[in-house]
Structure 1
Amino acid sequence: MIEKETFGRRQQAIEQFRRSAGSPELFGKSQQLADYWFNLKKSGLLPEKKTINPRDLQSLLPQIVMLERDEAGLFKVRLSGTGITELWGIEPTGKEFLAHAALQNRDKVQSLLQSALQQPCGLIMRYDDLYTDGRLIQTEFALFPIRMSANQTQILFGVISAADHEEQSWPQPLLATAFYRIKNFQFVSVGGGTPTPADDC
């Protein structure tokens, strides 16, 4: 049974997200993922991985990503869709998520991911990735925390997608530098509030 207070906080979080989701307007896949996550069955504030049904995510599967924090505090790509491989030109599964991140933004993104697990809350970020032909591709991720099981470590589950007009540019060169330029980000309350970003974020 969900405690009445927990249920109330979750409903407030859903309403708050829906009010704010249009500013700045989210990419379509980010909005779909957020709506799906908020409708998952929860244990407390978070769903368990077993509640995710791939059949309900057919249109999102190519862009799906799952990040797990290892003992060293690094985020590893536990699972990634074929669309992400096509987008980056590399297979990221099993590798460090921030391996190609711009040095000037790596610590910032790492800190935000860490905050999304600790609070916990959702994190949506829009940024430009730099490719080997010099092009900048506008990209967005939407990540939300889930549990592997009731008592296990949380992971971040979500989507990574390019702007719709960018997705028609394939085939393309390889990803050179991820998070080359961060445009904006927002934490999304899932019922427990959101972190206060550090001044340098």
Structure 2
Amino acid sequence: MFHPSTERLIDYWRSKAVNAAMPARAAVNPADFLDLLPQVFILGRDAKGRYPVRLAGGFVADLHARDLRGEDALGFWALSHRLEVKSALEVARRRGEPVVITADIRAIGAPSVGMEVLLAPMTGADGQADRFLGLYQPIAMIQRLMGRPASDLGVRRIQALGPANEEAPRLRLATLHGRRIA
């Protein structure tokens, strides 16, 4: 069970899917979830395995205390978690299903704050899965950060979702570029 805002955006994403395929970026209308826009972001995916931020809502930019456009989203995560997050993005893209990462927002000199990070794949104009609709949904009091910017995000749990938002079966062996990672 996720935060109601996370569930709402997953349901919206599913409603835009055609013939059980992931939705096209052009089918997603931000006016359909205006109240969530500050927490919403869109990632691209380039051939080099980077995930540049294409668009970031005000809450997302404020949390990181900078304009995020063009930055590789993997850089938001602690170095020790980047491969895990990249693998989750690739699994979501290949399966055509969203993934929710339960994370910790870490800031220097402040206690961490829990957050759900939704990453839902979308297709671009060429039909390739090269975009992600994202959401930052705090699950604890954001005021605990005392106005400090996020230094990084840490992974607590990654949940790949199936068609009915149930957790997908866990992989027993995973490789990336021929290297075993899990």
Report the TM-score when normalising by structure 2.
Answer: 0.83
Alignment RMSD: 2.4
Query: Structure 1 residues 176 and 41 mapped into 2: Cα distance closer, same or farther (>3 Å)?
Result: closer
1:139 aligns with 2:112: no
1:136 is matched by which residue type in structure 2? S
- Report if the CA contact (8 A) 2:6-2:116 is conserved: yes
Residue 96 of structure 1: aligned partner: 72
Shift of 1:71: 1.5
Q: Distance in 1 between matches of 2:40 and 2:97?
A: 18
Structure 1 unaligned blocks of 5 or more: 1-21
Shift of 1:61: 0.6
Shift of 1:155: 1.3
SS at match of 1:107: helix
Q: 2:153 aligns with which of 178, 182, 187?
A: 178
Residue 167 of structure 1: aligned partner: 142
Q: Distance in 2 between matches of 1:78 and 1:148?
A: 13
Q: Distance in 1 between matches of 2:172 and 2:88?
A: 9
Structure 2 unaligned blocks of 5 or more: 174-180
1:173 is matched by which residue type in structure 2? R
Residue 40 of structure 1: aligned partner: 16
Give every structure 1 segment of 4 or more consecutive aligned residues whose post-TM-superposition deviation is greater than 6 Å.
none
Identity within the alignment, %: 23
Report the TM-score when normalising by structure 1.
Answer: 0.76
Query: Structure 1 residues 150 and 69 mapped into 2: Cα distance closer, same or farther (>3 Å)?
Result: closer
Q: 1:188 aligns with which of 138, 147, 161?
A: 161
1:45-194 alignment to 2 at 5 Å?
45-149=21-125, 151-163=127-139, 165-169=140-144, 172-179=147-154, 182-190=155-163
Query: Structure 1 residues 69 and 89 mapped into 2: Cα distance closer, same or farther (>3 Å)?
Result: same
Shift of 1:157: 0.8
| Bigger RCO of structures 1 and 2 (CA < 8 A, at least 6 apart) | 1
SS at match of 1:197: coil
Query: Structure 1 residues 188 and 67 mapped into 2: Cα distance closer, same or farther (>3 Å)?
Result: same
Shift of 1:170: 6.8
Shift of 1:125: 0.9
